[in-house]
Each structure stands twice: as structure tokens, then as C-alpha cells.
Amino acid sequence: APLGITVQTAELTEAEETGTTFRENAYIKAKSACDETGLPCVADDSGLSIDYLNGEPGVYSARWAGGHDDADNNRKLVEKMKHVPQSERAAHFVSAIACVFPDGREIVVRGECPGVIIDAPRGGGGFGYDPYFLYEPLGKTFAEMTAEEKNAVSHRARAMERFAKEFAALTGITGK
């Protein structure tokens, strides 16, 4: 919106996320959509990365426990972290945003939000791992934050801010 661009969503063939990084999966989805539509297309890939677990669940965040079930994924999170000391619970949410243009130009950016994994869920908002992800500067989990608070600090907000700057620089579109 700040660039004065109308965004359209479309029912497209779902691209197979075969990448091993958020960046690769975001690019795969954007490239597939661009190839299918002939239009510049934007896609993202996001998830949780826990340092103690060597980056797990990573690109498998949505289906870490086997399906796309938040409750199952959170049960697995609690089980894997139950003996991990508080000092070793660093984690970060990651969002990679890719834009592919029909002429071959591309933008890929990354945003991260640092936090720690807590033992018990807090808050009723958000989705996924939000009740277990504590953003220490606010002393709140993502599930306890208002939409405005989360949008000010989240990995997606940080990636989108970078994306808007790179998009404007690449295209010359700077706003209304």
C-alpha cells in the first residue's frame, strides 16, 4: 500500500516446497506463480528456528509433527524442549519474501525476530508457535501481543519493510 500498488491474490497451482531454506522455498513459490501468471509475483516462507535444536523446526515448521496441526506441533515443541535450560532456549522467527518478475529480475529478503521458547503457553491470540515464543523486549509472547504490537516487531514486518525498500529501488516505484 505505501508504494501505491494493488496486490491481487490468485488461485494457482501449489508449488512444491523442495528447498532446504526459507529463502529457497519463497523463491520457488514466487517463480512458480510468475511462470503461471506472467506477472510479477511475491511469496514468502516463514517459520520458527530454535538454536538448541540446530534450527528445527525450520522450513518444516507448519508440518513438524507430520501434519499441518498447531496443537501437534506445539506438543512436539514442548517435548523436545522440556529438559533444555532457560539459558539455551534462544529462538527466532524467520520470514523470507521473494518477488520474481517476468523479465528475470528478482528480490529476496529476510526478516527475523529474536525470542526464547517458554515452557507453558501464554496468550490467546496468534497461531502456530506464538503462545510459546516470548519476545523479551515487550515481555510478551506473540500470542499475548496486539496485532499492532506484533506487526511492529515480527519477522514478517521486518522482511516486508526490507522488501518494500528493495522493490522501490529496483522498480523506481516510490509511492503514490
Q: Give the whole-angstrom CA distance, residue 107 versus residue 97.
A: 8
User: Which residues are part of the catalytic machinery?
Assistant: 45
List CB contacts of 127: < 8 A, sequence separation 6 or more. 70
Is residue 100 within 8 A of residue 106, CB to CB? The reply is: yes
Q: What share of the chain is helix, strand, coil (3-state, %, to 5)?
A: 40, 20, 40
Question: Torsions phi, psi of 157, nearest 5?
Answer: -60, -45
Q: Give the whole-angstrom CA distance, residue 13 versus residue 2.
A: 29
